[in-house]
Structure 1
Amino acid sequence: MDLGISGRKAIVCGSSRGLGRAIATSLARAGCVVIVNGIDAARLAERAEELTAETGAQVIPVAADVTTRDGQDALFAACPDPDILITNAGGPPFKDFREIDREAMLKGVTANMVTPIELIQRSVDGMVERRFGRIVNITSVSVKMPVFGLDLSSGARAGLTAFLAGVSRSVAHANVTINNILPGYFDTDRYRAGIDATAKAQGVSHDEMHAARVATVPARRAGDPAEFGDAAAFLCSAQAGYITGQNLLLDGGLFQSAF
């Protein structure tokens, strides 16, 4: 399927690995110029080379911490007028809520709520002027249901979701959409780290914890990052212009609800 976005410029935050890398790959395959981002310059450069070799797309690495003003400046210096913006950041580490102090709470909210809003503030007006824009925020299934040790991540991402609910409607007239994808259990480094933390807390092995985790998923497996990337790319497509303000669960049926 031709997504109609060949030649569009896409910023993908947190794209040196995991779900961000999968999204960058899918957008590159769709013909986008992709700005990949991460804080590990060596790993990011390696991923950019791999992605170019795999897809033939123009891939521009920007090693920067986008939770800072300097990092955001570097990102927009490389791509002043993005057509597509994917906000994505690793959440706070798995931790019992009793152990989270004020500094950690502020850091978590900054990374998972404030930073995406700042990035959107810097890019959305240009999208409105050009009459095309696709913004996708990677949040979490934990916005809708509790996940052990992710209380801070849940709170910050839920705040982002509520903040953008009205914003998304205010720019829809200009063919600018803002949506959120809520991943469940996808087989990434972060997922495996969470399995390790939970396994340690419960006194079981990594494999036992993984088996128990996927047993709660109706699909009976963890998700493949590639299928997540393709879903995100569709929300960025020309055909998805009538989808905005939505929260797309990609969780294998984990969150059980009729609505």
Structure 2
Amino acid sequence: MDLGLTTRKAIICASSKGLGKACAIALAKEGCEVVINGRHGESLHETAKEIKSLTGATVIEVVGDVATQEGQRDLFKACPDPDILVTNNHGPAFRDFRELDRNTIIDGVTQNMVTPIELIKAVIDKMVAKKFGRIVNITSTSVYAPIAGLDLSSGARAGLTSFLAGIARTVVADNVTINNLLPGPFLTDRLKQSFAAASEKTGIPVHEIVAKRQTQNPAKRFGNPEEFGHACAFLCSTKSGFITGQNLIIDGGAYLSAF
């Protein structure tokens, strides 16, 4: 299927690794010029080389923390008028909510709610003016099914989901869509960190925890980041203009719900 993305310009936040990187690769394969972002220049540069090698696409590297004004300024300096915006950011570490202080809570909300809103504000009117725009937010299935220890992350992302639900309906007539991708268990660094934390807490070897978690998923495996990237590319495509304000769960069936 031709997704109609050739020559489109895409900003993918926090894309030096993990699911953000998978989205950048998928969009580059569809012919997008991609702006990738990360806080560590060396790993970002390695990712840029990999994407260029795989796809031949134009790849622009922007080193910086997207949660800061400086980071956002540099992103939009590199790509002032994106057709596609994929918001993503690292989330707060696993922590009992009793250990959270005020500053930690504010930082978590800034990273996972305020920052995407700021980025969307910066691009949405330009998208409306040219009658094309695709905004995809990478959130989490914990928005629907809270995970103990990730309460701050879940709360901030749920706030983002509700904040944008009404806004999505105000711009869809101008062919601008806003949707959310909710990843479940993909074998990313963050999931590996959770296994290590669980092992340290319980004394159970990491490989046993991994094996058990896989068997608990209806799919009997963890997700491949490439699968996530394909879903992102479709939501960014010209084929998806009638889909907006939606939360697409990608978790191998782990979230149990008929609706």
TM range (shorter): over 0.9
Partner of residue 7, structure 1: 7
- Residues 199-208 or 177-186, more deviating: 199-208
- Counterpart AA for 1:211: A
- The aligned runs of 1:50-69 (5 Å cut-off) are 50-69=50-69
In structure 2, the residue matched to 1:30 is 30
Instruction: Give the % identical residues.
Output: 58
Gaps of 5+ in 2: none
Q: Which amino acid aligns with 1:47?
A: T
Distance 2:252 2:63 in 1: 33
TM-fit CA distance, 1:255: 0.6
Q: Name 1:215's counterpart in structure 2.
A: 215
Equivalent in the alignment of 1:115? 115
Q: Which residue of 1 aligns with 2:255?
A: 255
RMSD: 0.8
Distance in 2 (CA, whole Å) between partners of 1:100 and 1:204 is 27
Which residue is 1:243 aligned to?
243
1:80 CA displacement: 0.2
CA distance in 1, matches of 2:149, 2:202: 13
Matching of residue 89 in structure 1 with residue 89 in structure 2? yes
* Paired AA for residue 87 in structure 2: T
Residue of structure 2 in register with 1:77 after alignment? 77
TM-score normalised by L of structure 1: 0.98
Q: Which moved more, 1:24-33 or 1:203-212?
A: 203-212
Match of 2:140 in 1: 140
Distance (Å, rounded) in 2 between the aligned partners of 1:115 and 1:215: 36
2:66–2:89 Cα contact (<8 Å) kept: no
Residue type matched to 1:238 in 2? T
Cα offset, 1:136, TM superposition: 0.2
**Aligned partners of 1:81, 1:94: CA distance in 2, in Å?**
36
When normalised by structure 2's length, the TM-score is 0.98
Distance 2:236 2:48 in 1: 20
Q: Which residue of 2 aligns with 1:152?
A: 152
Q: Residues 148-191 of structure 1, C-alpha deviation per residue, up to 9 Å, x if partnerless?
A: 31111100000000000001001001000000000000011111
Could you list the per-position Cα deviations for residues 225-246 of structure 1 after superposition, in whole angstroms to 9, with x for gaps in the alignment?
0000001100001000000000
Instruction: Note the residue ranges of structure 1 that are not aligned, 5 or more in a row.
Output: none
